[in-house]
């Protein structure tokens, strides 16, 4: 009888751990594994569909150039679309897209910057679009890939070019993470729209909100899986820690009704950031909706920030 009880006492924790491990593997594949399509937008943004596709149609009509990095390295091959300015310009914006999107999904922002006289580079991040990669790095590997895109802009457009980094959602976090890297002098400013503070905090938040699951044991197990597959723990993927090393002017934008990346993450990022900084919390905007509520107002805020820190030469 005692032996039976002992076996049962051991079996129960093993079964619980096995179930947690199985669920965490499924969660990892759901959240981190690449998908070769752009998922449908959230229901609250369906009302912007016609406007969105009008911007995509505009992009398709432009004299787009395809740029590549690591063209002969199948595992690290990266692709971007480059839209030259209407007239020769020494100003280029590199636009970082959101989770499970690609460069084309940023057509509205490309149009805005094109109207402002910028060359526009639209990369497909690792694990997205036409770029290689089995898994999504949530900005961590992307921050280094974007150093390659910066170098390519400088090589092609010349060392006197001015570069702006811009991103939304995961792209916002990506440019925030880039802020802690050693960036060349051509990079003049950063604009981050609704970026998360860290992927660990974001995953724990969404687990609770969407699946009613606790952080423990799932996030640590997912982190361990990521360490095995991608080479780093989720705790490494932090906008906050990178922003502590920033020195560039940075503009934070965030919807005050965002429940996907909550506004307290905006506060964490803003407080951590070194260097000149501004913040605009957009009334009534949900996640990544700030542009769509009033594109003209959005452009005015972006223009005012850039005119202050990156004036025309």
Domain assignment of residue 9, yes or no = no
Domain assignment of residue 81, yes or no = yes
- pLDDT (0 to 100) of residue 53: 97
- Cα distance between residue 306 and residue 211, in whole Å: 40
Domain assignment of residue 215, yes or no = no
Domain assignment of residue 302, yes or no = yes
Residue for token pair 């030259």:
84
39 to each of 60, 98, 138, 176, 261, how far by Cα in Å?
20, 11, 16, 24, 18
pLDDT, mean over the chain? 93
Look up the pTM and report it. 0.94
- pLDDT (0 to 100) of residue 17: 61
- Cα distance between residue 254 and residue 231, in whole Å: 31
Rg (CA), the chain: 21
**What residues contact residue 68 under an 8 Å CB cut-off, 6+ apart?**
77, 78, 79, 80
- pLDDT (0 to 100) of residue 6: 44
- Cα distance between residue 131 and residue 81, in whole Å: 11
Q: Supply the range of the domain harboring residue 75.
A: 33-198+237-309
27-43 pLDDT, tens per residue?
999 999 998 889 888 88
Domain assignment of residue 292, yes or no = yes
Domain assignment of residue 79, yes or no = yes
Q: How many domains does one find in the chain? A: 1
Domain assignment of residue 205, yes or no = no
53-69 pLDDT, tens per residue?
999 999 999 999 999 99
- pLDDT (0 to 100) of residue 313: 65
Domain assignment of residue 16, yes or no = no
Q: Mean pLDDT of residues grouped by 10 in the chain (313 residues)?
A: 47 66 92 91 88 98 98 96 96 98 98 98 98 97 98 97 98 98 97 98 95 91 96 97 98 97 97 97 97 98 96 75
- pLDDT (0 to 100) of residue 16: 65
- Cα distance between residue 100 and residue 146, in whole Å: 17
- CATH number reported for the structural domain that contains residue 269 in this entry: 3.40.50.1820
């Amino acid at each position: 009888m005692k032996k039976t009880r002992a076996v049962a006492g051991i079996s129960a924790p093993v079964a619980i751990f096995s179930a947690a491990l199985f669920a965490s593997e499924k969660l990892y594949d759901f959240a981190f594994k690449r998908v070769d399509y752009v998922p449908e937008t959230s229901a609250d943004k369906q009302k912007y569909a016609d406007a969105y596709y009008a911007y995509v149609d505009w992009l398709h009509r432009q004299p787009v150039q395809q740029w590549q990095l690591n063209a002969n390295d199948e595992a690290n091959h990266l692709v971007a679309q480059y839209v030259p300015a209407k007239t020769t310009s020494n100003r280029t914006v590199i636009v970082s897209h959101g989770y499970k999107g690609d460069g084309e999904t940023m057509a509205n922002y490309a149009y805005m910057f094109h109207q402002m006289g910028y060359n526009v580079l639209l990369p497909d991040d690792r694990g997205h679009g036409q770029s290689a990669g089995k898994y999504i790095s949530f900005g961590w590997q992307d921050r280094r890939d974007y150093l390659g895109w910066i170098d390519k802009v400088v090589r092609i457009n010349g060392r006197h070019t001015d570069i702006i980094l811009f991103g939304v959602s995961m792209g916002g976090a990506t440019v925030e993470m880039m802020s802690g890297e050693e960036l060349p002098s051509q990079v003049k400013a950063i604009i981050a729209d609704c970026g998360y503070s860290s992927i660990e905090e974001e995953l724990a938040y969404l687990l609770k909100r969407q699946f009613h699951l606790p952080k423990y044991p799932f996030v640590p197990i997912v982190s361990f899986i990521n360490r095995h597959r991608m080479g780093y723990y989720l705790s490494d993927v932090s906008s906050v820690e990178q922003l502590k090393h920033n020195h560039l002017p940075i503009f934070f934008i965030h919807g005050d009704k965002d429940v996907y990346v909550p506004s307290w993450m905006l506060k964490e990022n803003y407080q951590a950031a070194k260097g000149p900084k501004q913040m605009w919390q957009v009334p009534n905007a949900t996640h990544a909706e700030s542009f769509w509520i009033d594109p003209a107002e959005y452009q005015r805020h972006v223009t005012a920030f850039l005119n202050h820190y990156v004036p025309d030469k």
